[in-house]
Structure 1
């Protein structure tokens, strides 16, 4: 059966992007599970903002990501419950909480760095191209993922990197 979303052209663009986003999140989750890394790919943006800023308020996260406050609060709760982040009260404004990585969060970040580099490399390869429209490029992207899943692409490169590091 033909993929109905393909036949909708630009009218199906939002649905295709959502489907692709969901697929990518599932594939990254497979990678984390395979590598025995307990991390939810949906938490990446908030976790990364905390990494970049070292200490950050929810307002700063919201401005940086343009997420809703409830979405940020939910991510903060999940990261806190996993003991990846902690907070302290701002000395100048006692109403503000400053979020930062815990030792466990720092260790996880260091473990994730090489994997994130490979994920970035593989997604760049899939998204670079000279298509004349976004839908044409989505066709290419989706076709490539049908040929070989994103998780397989990432895990193959990660395995190569691990072997290379073992040989050095």
Structure 2
């Protein structure tokens, strides 16, 4: 998204994630740790965050609110294994977001990071679209398959004429780039 001009900001309780976020060109939204307890809890276990103390959660909520009301798209992903997803985006925040903004709540299956999220539905609240698909990854396969099929069809249209005969037009840039041999000789010029 950054390559397309988007301004990307991300937050995570685990300090180790900061480097990963910044390595992708995003800005890390830091919620400082005020106690050793907060710092220790934030280390997480097995790659997952642990529940943070209420004080830290309040500071995080304030930061999330400040950034979300300015955003066009907010993607939430916070999960704690075996528990309901923590609420990161309050209804009051959604109500103050720009009309037409989108919230993609990837924690919808565990109750959502926003109380307005409805599992397996796309709803609009306060002029903001909330996407609550619980298995978003499974939806990609159909789109990827359709895109691939369309690309293959378009390629075949370059190779097959109206009468269904194979026509290899070496003047076409796409055909020329794909042609490896022609009449038992290498087709690619070095």
TM-score interval for Structure 1 and Structure 2 normalised by the shorter chain: under 0.3
| Structure with the bigger percentage of helix | 1
- TM-score calculated relative to the size of structure 1: 0.25
Larger Rg: 2
- TM-score calculated relative to the size of structure 2: 0.23
| Structure with the bigger percentage of strand | 2
